[in-house]
Chain A
Amino acid sequence: MEFLYASEILLNGLMAGVMYSLVALGFVLIYKASGVFNYAQGVLALFAAMTLVGIMEGRVPFAHLLGAVFGIHVSSFGWTVPGAVAILLTALVMVGVAIAIEKLVLKHLVGQEPIILFMATIGLAWFLEGLGDVMWGADVKVLDVGLPQGISETVETLTNDWLGYGFFIDRLDIWAAMIAAVLVAALVGFSQYTKQGRAMRAVADDHQAALSVGISLQFIWIMVWSIAGFVALVAGIMWGTKSGVQFSLSLIALKALPVLMLGGFTSIPGAIVGGLIIGMGEKLFEYFIGPMVGGATENWFAYVLALIFLVFRPQGLFGERIIERV
């Protein structure tokens, strides 16, 4: 029975890992294209999820501000928008955000050191965090796009019949795994087999060289940030469905960091494998070792594992090895 329970924990760890990978993917995309660690990726997920709920519920953006400044007290348009349409509209908003980021931030920092761009994304995170609150309010929002939640009775019944122990798997986690698989396949295909994907990789290798062969840096950055915005929207939907859309959603980026250290900052499959290892490892560690040290070891374990990887394989499992000669 203990073995079966440990197997159940392992399976749920893998599922949790998929959820971490969804966030990590956005980081990888931007890092691949620009060599920038996008500190704002978690906030992008929060902003996307808030916008999705706002559109679905027909909320008036900046309603509180309109009331405070102009005395216009209106919080709702009085309509609701179906989930699929709202997701499409939110994706368009994220493209708009990508264009604004390129025009207002990135364009002015071409050729700057990566640390400057990293600091710019810190500023961006603070700005988007405040903008999201002002646009849609700081309350906890319920997100329901029709994804099922709760125990999968099929898995429970099947495992009970076969093994005599009904496994718990959350239906939302199963959906997350399927969505992540589709997303990764699409991103890998795009990156490897399309003209824009190859251009994206060229920009990642060398901005100046890519410009010299006629690749539009402006277009590539807008495209990459738009895709990262869409990935953030997917992550926001999954995490928002799980525990409501609220500020804490932006903190899931902290879960993505050890995943990236493990999988490598430049590998899309690495983000998935890293997520699975972290998810599985932290759950099993908590089960076997947690009780001996007082529990709550999951965050600690993820970072310790990532640090060990940094010592022995700094580029991560699938990352590109960078050799700089001085």
Chain B
Amino acid sequence: MNAPIVKLGRTASFVLLLFLPLPIVVIGATSFAAAGYLRFPPGELSLRWYAEAATDPRWIEAFLTSLGIAAVVAVLVTAIAFAGAYACHRLRPRWLPAFELAVMSPLFFPHAALGVALVNVLAMAGYLGTATGIVIAHIVCTLPFAWRPIVVALQKIDGEIVEAASLLGADERRIALGIALPLARSGLVTALLFSFIISFDEVTVTMFLTGPQVTTLPVQIYAFIQENASPVLAAISTATVVVTLLVVMLLERLIGLEFFVAHDPA
């Protein structure tokens, strides 16, 4: 092996890797700078931007709205995905490949197009600018992400267990809720946390759907950047990073992160 080249490649790759969290780190550093902007050499530290954010009802409301919407979306989409994926798994309909392609199809839509499409349908239903509308839109956007891990988890269940339960007299409800549900929990937890974080951080589609009554944290951050880029934004942004980091770490603890780099069997 030509070691120097490999070593050089490794160092360069590491530098590139550190480039990924760079803007987040910069925002985090800014949020603690008393001056409100980052400079070199660094100035005095302070928590004033956090205090300002925490006492502004607009930010509290947007933060709670985003958490609430993300929680509702995560639970609903995981339930929808489990029910659907379980039925597909047991019934193995002939049209399964077409159905799965349809489930995945929102992934092939550029977000701007998806946003317009959802505005059209939500406006017709009278849900534009409401939390319900945002929840519906997020369910459409996150279903592909919740579907995949659940299908993978269901495929890992040993068929003989189901067979045995069935022979011992378990009815379908018992098989679904007593056997498949607990055995597929790695997929369920992944779907739950993954869809939570996507919903919590989504901005491009959501910005079409917010209104005077309801807005989410990322959309409000966007609006404030355009109006006045106050350093409070750095504190708020850091708070969203912390939420995201916590969820990723929770997923790592509970299930592991292998799902993200598992090869897609489809």
Physical interaction between A and B: no
**Residue positions of A touching B, CB distance < 8 A:** none
